[in-house]
Structure 1
Amino acid sequence: LDYWVRLHRKYRCRIDQVVIFLKSTTSDLVFTNEFRDTNTWHSYRVIRLWEQDPQPLLANRALLPLATLARSNQPLGLLEQVVAEVDKIEEKPLRGNLAACVDVLAGLRFEKELVRRLLREEIMEESVTYQDIIQKGVQKGLQQGLQRGKQEEAVLIVMRLLTLRLGLLDPVLQQRIEGLSITRLEELSEALLDFETAMDLGVWLDNC
């Protein structure tokens, strides 16, 4: 009701309000389509995503992430179909952002490890949103390490991220990273998003 009032006050137009429930539940709330209180009555449309036909969602690439939660007797097969449709998208930024959205929404229905196994890491890395999430997580971890005065924690975080991006690192590179200060580790956490190979890491270390 509060959203309806705000929109009506601002735009003075007809408003069709829709509430979308993403995760299957037996709660009475998902079967309620009105609000009543004393002299107030407000109705709205309710969509329970787990009851919806997935085909219209699969046909519109902007809605592909929602399709992972739609009706299906074979949920895993539906997830694989969504991932296949995302893979077909040629525009890298759009493909990456949709993959990141699939990762988030599919996590409401499937184990995170399963979703990540199906979504290729290189596609996820095309998403600005995904990179931002990773970067914020790294920065937060580094800051916590800095606050506790533990350079070792910062090294572990950066090493984990480098391994995910470049694979197992040469022991020599590992030793050089372990010798970096927290300030340099913070700089490396930003620079590594542009690395393509371990050689890029080596060049960065040579210049730092």
Structure 2
Amino acid sequence: MAYDNVCKYLVEWFPESFARWLLGSPVSLAQLQPTELSTEPIRADSLILLRAQNLILHLEFQTDPDPDIPFRMADYCLRLYRRYPAQEVRQIVIYLRKTQSERVYQTSFQRGSLSHRFEVLRLWEQDPEVLSQYPGLLPLAVLADPENPEPRLRQVVRAIAEIEDPKLRQEVKAATAVLAGLTWTPEEISRVLGGLAVRESTIYQMWRAEALKEGREEGLKQGLEQGLQQGLQQGLQQGLQQEAARLTLSQLRRKLGSLPEDLSETIRLLPTEQLEALAEALLDFQTLADLIQWLRESSSN
């Protein structure tokens, strides 16, 4: 999600660039907060809602295909209608990384009689020259030309250098460096960008924080899953051992009568394999001494 959120930051800082690209006109777009929807939103941290005079533009940036996208778009459309019934809603899913998955061609959600359609843009099919016309879209232009990545990245770097505002220039540099990481190695990016200082930019810091957060969450999730699996396995093994000990003690009492408590405790602590062996051996026991002798021999082995 960290890469997706870089695009979210670009939309927040360059709404006019996205309006010209997606709507074809420089309309004024104001950001809506997900909390304005009446029910708890799904993935509210990545939801982008922009509002014009009679239009709400809902954008979803996706690094890779997500099977939940069709439902999510239908769900949000209904929530937006509930909150803003007089507003037209236009929904666009923008896929960043080239893929052969059929999911990136899904433009509808259907469930019974419910049918909902939305738009999809595959960035690698967009005209990089069009994207390069707008400062806020320069980082996306790198991904729009996967067949000629290095020449395109160099062209974007030259265009970035022409941005007059130093702060915006730094942010666009940072976003370009981050999104180029979807197809380039850090060494290649550094070589082409010429070691641009982007680490102090807001976009880079936000992206790094998101990436670290995702890494920690994934690590925690894997740790919990591994711990749960190990715990279940240990619990199963312990349960099997305890049941084997109970059955073996029951058979011994039937065969030999009452057992001393210390002897019973010794048997309860035997591993499952020894309990199974004892369950077979006890058929030949005649006295308590036979059991004690078997335990001694078993422990010495």
How far did residue 63 of structure 1 move?
0.6
TM-score w.r.t. the length of structure 1 is 0.59
Report whether the alignment pairs 1:60 with 2:134. Answer: yes
Report whether the alignment pairs 1:2 with 2:75. Answer: yes
Gap change, CA 1:95 and 1:46, over 3 Å in 2: same
Which amino acid counterpart does residue 84 of structure 1 have in structure 2?
A: R
Residue of structure 2 equivalent to 1:18? 92
How far did residue 100 of structure 1 move?
1.3
Residue of structure 2 equivalent to 1:48? 122
Deviation digits for residues 94-118 of structure 1 (CA, Å, limit 9, x no counterpart): 0111111111211112222211233
Gap change, CA 1:123 and 1:86, over 3 Å in 2: farther
Identify which of 138, 159, 169 aligns with 1:85.
159
Residue of structure 2 equivalent to 1:129? 203
Report whether the alignment pairs 1:113 with 2:187. Answer: yes
Contact preservation (8 Å) 1:107, 1:115: yes
Residue of structure 2 equivalent to 1:69? 143
For residues 135-174 of structure 1, what are the structure 2 equivalents within 5 Å?
A: none
1:130 aligns to what SS in structure 2?
helix
Which amino acid counterpart does residue 5 of structure 1 have in structure 2?
A: L
Gap change, CA 1:31 and 1:115, over 3 Å in 2: same
Cα distance in 2 for residues equivalent to 1:6 and 1:32: 21
Contact preservation (8 Å) 1:97, 1:126: no
What is the RMSD computed on CA atoms of the aligned residues? 2.5
Residue of structure 2 equivalent to 1:30? 104
Which amino acid counterpart does residue 64 of structure 1 have in structure 2?
A: L
How far did residue 135 of structure 1 move?
8.5
Q: Calculate percent identity across the aligned residue pairs.
A: 38
TM-score w.r.t. the length of structure 2 is 0.42
How far did residue 24 of structure 1 move?
0.6
Cα distance in 1 for residues equivalent to 2:108 and 2:206: 38
Cα distance in 2 for residues equivalent to 1:131 and 1:40: 42
Deviation digits for residues 30-56 of structure 1 (CA, Å, limit 9, x no counterpart): 111111111211111110110111011
Gap change, CA 1:132 and 1:14, over 3 Å in 2: closer
2:115 aligns to what SS in structure 1?
strand
How far did residue 93 of structure 1 move?
1.0
Deviation digits for residues 165-188 of structure 1 (CA, Å, limit 9, x no counterpart): xxxxxxxxxxxxxxxxxxxxxxxx
Deviation digits for residues 8-39 of structure 1 (CA, Å, limit 9, x no counterpart): 22222111111111111111101111111112
Contact preservation (8 Å) 1:50, 1:71: yes
Contact preservation (8 Å) 2:175, 2:204: no
Gap change, CA 1:53 and 1:135, over 3 Å in 2: closer
With 70-79 and 29-38 compared, the bigger mean Cα shift is at 70-79
Deviation digits for residues 50-92 of structure 1 (CA, Å, limit 9, x no counterpart): 0111011000111111101113542210111111111222211
Contact preservation (8 Å) 1:31, 1:46: yes
Structure 2: gaps (5+ residues): 1-73, 213-301
Cα distance in 1 for residues equivalent to 2:104 and 2:174: 27
Structure 1: gaps (5+ residues): 139-208
Deviation digits for residues 136-169 of structure 1 (CA, Å, limit 9, x no counterpart): 999xxxxxxxxxxxxxxxxxxxxxxxxxxxxxxx
Gap change, CA 1:134 and 1:51, over 3 Å in 2: closer
Which amino acid counterpart does residue 81 of structure 2 have in structure 1?
A: H
Report whether the alignment pairs 1:102 with 2:173. Answer: no
